[in-house]
A = this chain, B = another copy of it.
Amino acid sequence: MSFIGRINETSQKKESRVVAGLDLKVCDYKELVGKVVNILDLIQDEICAIKVNFHLLLPLSFFELKSITDRAHNYGLQVIADIKLNDISSTNLVATNILWNLGFDALIANPFVGFEEGLGPCIIDAHSKGKGLILLTYMSHKGAVEGYGLDVLQSGRVLKMYDLFVQRALEWKADGVVVGATNPQIISHVKQKVRSIPIFSPGLIAQGGDPKEVVKAGADYLIIARGIVESDDPRTAARRLKSITW
């Protein structure tokens, strides 16, 4: 089954479209896996996927990371690597090979790097292995306008960078697009164009995005990191968000 099929199936089973970003800030890296596992055990029934960022990818070893993806899979969850990949294909393929061996189901990449000798070979390889690539389309921070919001001249007409990225998501057969929760009007705009490609929306709570508004605008999956992992009660925080998505 494809990543899109798997995450949809999991969300049906868990009755949740919440993706928990396990962005723990820990000074003692020896404590990190234990703290991640604690939170994962608490929230596993309220979410459909976990998202792992540099907070864990940089300090943890292959075997420590594998123990986290294995545990998530035992809970029936999907696992996304948020690496915002944007290198040349020979490097991208080494990175994706490591991530797929680690058990990740999908990763987030930046379509800015292009298809040829960029993300193209990775998408083809990922799909042959049932893995997914989720493409950044408009991010959640203020500076997103400095890149994703640029006006681009193409074939004599002006278009927004994020519209170019939606075109790429469709042409490249992406398994998801990321649109920040801080711009629900862009979520609505993208929703009308991406057909069956699901929209993943980060930037909720800590960054100011409103979960209800974002779901109404058309986001399929809500990515929440600090709003869960920095909460005094992660399970209740995750459960509250789950109820908004289902």
- Residues on A lying within 8 angstroms of B by beta carbon are 23, 25, 29, 53-55, 57-62, 64, 82-84, 86-91, 94-95, 98-99, 102, 110-120, 139-147, 150-154, 158, 203, 206-207, 226
Contacts and interface: CB of A to CB of B under 8 A. Distances in A.
Given A57-B58, A99-B58, A117 B88 contact: no
B141 A88 contact: yes
Contact of A140 (B88, B102, B139, B145): B88
Contacts of A150: 152-154
A146 B114 contact: yes
Given A29-B61, A60-B62, 14 more contacts: A23-B91, A23-B94, A53-B94, A54-B91, A57-B58, A58-B95, A59-B61, A84-B87, A88-B141, A90-B206, A112-B146, A117-B142, A118-B146, A151-B152
A117 B89 contact: no
Contacts of A120: 143
17 contacts: A29-B61, A53-B94, A54-B87, A59-B61, A59-B62, A82-B87, A86-B86, A90-B206, A90-B226, A110-B110, A110-B112, A111-B147, A113-B146, A114-B147, A117-B141, A119-B143, A150-B154
Nearest to A93: B25
A144 B25 CA distance: 34
Nearest to A94: B55
Contacts of A142: 114, 116-117
Given A53-B91, A59-B61, A153-B151, A143 B113 contact: yes
Given A23-B91, A86-B86, A86-B110, A118 B143 contact: yes
A129 to B, nearest CB: 16
Contact of A61 (B61, B82, B114, B152): B61
Contacts of A83: 54
A90 B225 CA distance: 11
A114 B98 contact: no
A54 B84 CA distance: 12
Nearest to A180: B88
Interface centre among A59, A145, A207, by most chain B C-beta atoms within 10 angstroms, is A59
A171 B227 CA distance: 34
